Amino acid sequence: MDVIKKNWFSESCEMWPGSTFSFEVKKLLHKERSPFQEIQVFDSTSLGRVLVLDGIIQCTQKDEYSYQEMISFLPLCCHRNPEKVLIVGGGDGGVARDVAKHPNVKEIVQVEIDAKVIEVSKKYLPFMAVGFDSKKLTLHVGDGFEFMKNHSHEFDVIITDSSDPIGPAVSLFQENYFSLMKSALKPNGIVCSQAGTYWDNMDLVKNTLNICKNQFPSAAYAITSVPTYPSGSIGFVIGSLEENVKFDNPVREFTREQLNDMDLKYYNTDIHKAAFALPNFVKNVIDA
């Protein structure tokens, strides 16, 4: 008890009081305050490189791919022909990297609000920032919310890779944001947004899913394992303009060889289906 550890970083956040995850730091590679948030990059002894925004772990080299692959391929594989994709947020480049792997995707537009996150990722997190090199990608620095006001009926899939709903990302969890995404979608379009976990924040899950249900005729919640996030997992809401979409039954499947060729380490069809399985205590709240 009474932890005293030198050279360890501990996450602390009002969203998860009373428990915390810590890692041993090899070196603090970068620290600055951008106009939007405090950015830190660490080299760690057990997790590789780690990106921290406002004191919260955003991704570690050890497990970032499960998050990036799932927030990308869950919506992409529920869409018959996802040619044009909008990414809001995702300043580390990881989602762009994985969206670009899908063979149907021809064009990716990304809007990230914080140029400093992009710059820092390019310098210290090349395994994710490689996404910015994709020829499919057009990158804008700006507010995704504002961007969508001027882009109607343009996208097949919109992925919101945001931080948690404190700080710059608050607006991305609100009804008018989901309404804007709806208007920016082509017919049969699909959205997917980070939405917290039922272990730590059942209200956030229920509220975000309800907002999604209000705006989209089909909506569901899925979850994936990410060991270095609080509760070791992270969830998504997914919504479609089509009716009666069975999100847990993807319209596009890839063989194991194809997945390996695309360098997908986590996502496959079984994992896709499994992500939508919910425990009883969650169903009892969500369906109430």
Catalytic residues: 161
Nearer to a second copy, 243 or 270 (CB): 270
Nearest to 140 by CA among 125, 169, 162, 118: 118
Q: Which of 58, 66, 72, 193 binds a second copy (CB under 8 A)?
A: 66
Give CA–CA dist 86/186, Å, rounded.
12
Verify binding: residue 106, a second copy, rule CB under 8 A: no
CB of 44 to a second copy, least distance (A): 7
The letter for the amino acid at 59 is C
Q: Residues 13, 145, 64, 134: is their CA dihedral positive or negative?
A: negative
Running DSSP on this structure, what letter comes out for residue 63? T
Verify binding: residue 213, a second copy, rule CB under 8 A: no
Verify binding: residue 73, a second copy, rule CB under 8 A: no
Encoded tokens for 27: 């070196």
Q: Which of 13, 15, 21, 167 binds a second copy (CB under 8 A)?
A: 21
Instruction: Evaluate whether 89 touches 113 at the Cβ level (below 8 Å).
Output: yes
CB of 16 to a second copy, least distance (A): 8
Give CA–CA dist 263/9, Å, rounded.
31
Verify binding: residue 81, a second copy, rule CB under 8 A: no
Nearest to 142 by CA among 120, 111, 163, 118: 111
Verify binding: residue 232, a second copy, rule CB under 8 A: yes
User: Which range touches a second copy (CB under 8 A), out of 5-13, 121-129, 149-157, 235-243?
Assistant: 5-13
Verify binding: residue 257, a second copy, rule CB under 8 A: no
Verify binding: residue 277, a second copy, rule CB under 8 A: yes
Instruction: Evaluate whether 114 touches 36 at the Cβ level (below 8 Å).
Output: yes
Q: Look at strands 107-112 and 137-141 and give their pairing.
A: parallel
Nearer to a second copy, 111 or 282 (CB): 282
Cβ count within 10 A of residue 273: 15
CB of 14 to a second copy, least distance (A): 12
Q: Which of 27, 33, 46, 80 binds a second copy (CB under 8 A)?
A: 46
Verify binding: residue 19, a second copy, rule CB under 8 A: yes
Nearer to a second copy, 173 or 267 (CB): 267
Residue partners of 204: CB distance under 8 A and separation at least 6 = 165, 173, 195, 196
CB of 216 to a second copy, least distance (A): 22
Running DSSP on this structure, what letter comes out for residue 48? S
Verify binding: residue 103, a second copy, rule CB under 8 A: no
Verify binding: residue 268, a second copy, rule CB under 8 A: yes
Verify binding: residue 166, a second copy, rule CB under 8 A: no
The letter for the amino acid at 25 is V
Name the maximum alpha-carbon separation found in the chain.
57
Nearer to a second copy, 185 or 278 (CB): 278
Verify binding: residue 255, a second copy, rule CB under 8 A: no
Footprint on this chain of a second copy (rule: CB under 8 A)? 1-10, 16-25, 28, 44-47, 63, 66, 199-200, 223, 225-233, 256, 259-260, 264-268, 270-271, 273-281, 283-284
